[in-house]
């Protein structure tokens, strides 16, 4: 008996030491991982992508989903007069941040969905691709070059396409944008105003800065100031590295471009740094997540989170782009229709068009 007990005692002593070592290893490992990866770890169980790491495995449809045929009855009911007028009056150049490994996987799905509604669509890469088209900017790939790439992209736009648009949108290849709502938001502003819009975050920059993933839109005047004053001086970081959106925010503040308010008339946001589900389902974005400390204006979660005229969502997989496309532009509850009033900014143009079509 005593022998066995002694043996067990010895065994459990050794085991205890081993267990303590093992446990402290696990704890240290977890704490380290938590500190380094906390946003990713907090959200890993949530399913939908929430970070760029989680987006890496997402790929789009391998068979072309084709186009949606309009139901004749619905098609006749659709009235896009206002959207068509806005298309001409609020011209938007969209440039999409992408890279060679994502031309096929993501960029072409942006082009097949929301990208086609931009007045001009350009993909910014480090490899030329005429089918998109993608521009080969003289910068390296990877997160460490995003700021450098953003500077080069706006420089390229400034030198080659300034006359083709009034506003200049930067979006990622996993951002989904509703162009009609962006034009509607911009309608009261002039492209000569020194302003930019997006999902405004609080830290690092006094007037706030715009989330990179949700996309941000600069007036023509803001692009001019950014390139002529910002990139040509020590006001903006000369390095290629640094957080793209924070550096952009600092730079635009330094050249006196105002960080605009993109909320709708009832105070709901229009630019979103996550997919709709993460804003709509309470608790999906944990209270401890950086988002709640960063967001500039008080924002709600749940069904009242988001504007009826929302402009953008981020971390949208290529497949989900086709889903949003269907939900936003095709699915309609039968028997409910709505008419929008002609915005005052468009009345004159509308009257002119009516005269010429008579």
Ligand X SMILES: *[C@@H]1O[C@H](CO)[C@@H](O)[C@H](O)[C@H]1NC(C)=O
Write out the residues near ligand X by the rule CB under 6 A. 79, 81-82, 227-228, 232, 339-340, 342
CB of 79: closest distance to ligand X in angstroms? Answer: 4
Q: How far is the CB of 82 from ligand X (least distance, A)?
A: 5
**Looking at beta carbons only, is 56 or 228 nearer to ligand X?**
228
Beta carbon nearer to ligand X, 228 or 308: 228
Which residue's CB is nearer to ligand X, number 242 or number 343? 343
Select 185 or 227, whichever has its Cβ closest to ligand X.
Answer: 227
Closest contact distance (angstroms) between CB of 240 and ligand X is: 18
How far is 300 from 267, CA to CA, in rounded Å? 10
Contact (CB, 8 A) for 274 and 314: yes
Query: Contact 107/175 with Cβ under 8 angstroms?
Result: no
- The distance of closest approach from Cβ of residue 229 to ligand X in the complex, given in angstroms and rounded to an integer, is 8
Beta carbons within 8 Å of 4's beta carbon, 6+ residues apart: none
Residue written as token pair 């008996």: 1
Q: How far is the CB of 356 from ligand X (least distance, A)?
A: 15
Pick the closer one to ligand X by CB: 82 or 135: 82
- Compute the least distance from the CB of residue 118 to ligand X, in Å: 23
Range 286-305 burial, b when 16+ CB lie within 10 A, else e: eeebebeebbbeebebeeeb
* CA atoms within 13 Å, Cβ hemisphere of 66: 3
Please report how the helices 81-89 and 347-357 are oriented relative to each other, as an axis angle in degrees rounded to 10. 110
**Core vs surface per residue 162-191: b (16+ CB within 10 A) or e:** eeebbbbbbbbbbbbbbbbbbbbbbbebeb
Phi, psi of 49 (to 5 degrees): -60, 140
Residue number, 184 or 209, with CB nearest to ligand X: 184
């Amino acid at each position: 008996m005593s022998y066995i007990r002694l043996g067990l005692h010895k065994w459990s002593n050794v085991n205890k030491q081993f267990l303590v070592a093992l446990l402290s290893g696990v704890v240290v490992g977890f704490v380290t991982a938590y500190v380094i990866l906390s946003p990713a770890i907090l959200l890993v169980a949530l399913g939908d992508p929430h970070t760029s790491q989680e987006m890496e495995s997402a790929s789009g449809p391998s068979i072309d989903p084709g186009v949606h045929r309009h139901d004749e009855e619905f098609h006749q009911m659709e009235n896009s007069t206002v959207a068509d007028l806005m298309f001409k009056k609020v011209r938007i150049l969209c440039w999409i941040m992408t890279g060679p490994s994502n031309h096929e996987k993501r960029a072409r799905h942006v082009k097949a969905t929301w990208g086609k509604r931009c007045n001009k669509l350009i993909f910014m890469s480090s490899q030329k691709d005429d089918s998109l088209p993608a521009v080969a900017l003289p910068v390296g790939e990877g997160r460490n070059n995003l700021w450098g790439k953003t500077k080069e992209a706006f420089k390229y736009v400034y030198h080659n396409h300034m006359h083709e648009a009034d506003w200049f949108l930067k979006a990622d290849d996993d951002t989904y944008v509703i162009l009609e709502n962006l034009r509607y938001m911009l309608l009261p502003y002039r492209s000569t105003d020194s302003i930019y819009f997006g999902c405004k975050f609080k830290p690092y920059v006094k007037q706030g800065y715009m989330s990179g993933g949700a996309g941000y839109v600069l007036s023509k005047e803001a692009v001019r100031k950014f390139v002529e004053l910002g990139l040509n001086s020590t006001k903006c970081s000369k390095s290629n590295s640094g957080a793209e959106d924070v550096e952009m925010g600092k730079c635009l503040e330094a050249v006196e471009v105002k960080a605009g308010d993109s909320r709708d008339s009832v105070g709901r946001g229009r630019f979103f740094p996550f997919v709709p589900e993460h804003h709509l389902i309470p608790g999906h974005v944990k209270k401890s997540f950086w988002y709640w400390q960063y967001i500039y204006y008080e924002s709600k979660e749940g069904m009242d989170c988001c504007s009826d005229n929302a402009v953008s969502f981020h971390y949208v997989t290529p497949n989900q782009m086709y889903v949003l496309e269907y939900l936003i532009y095709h699915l309609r509850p039968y028997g409910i229709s709505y008419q929008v009033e002609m915005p005052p900014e468009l009345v004159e143009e509308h009257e002119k068009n009516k005269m010429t079509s008579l």
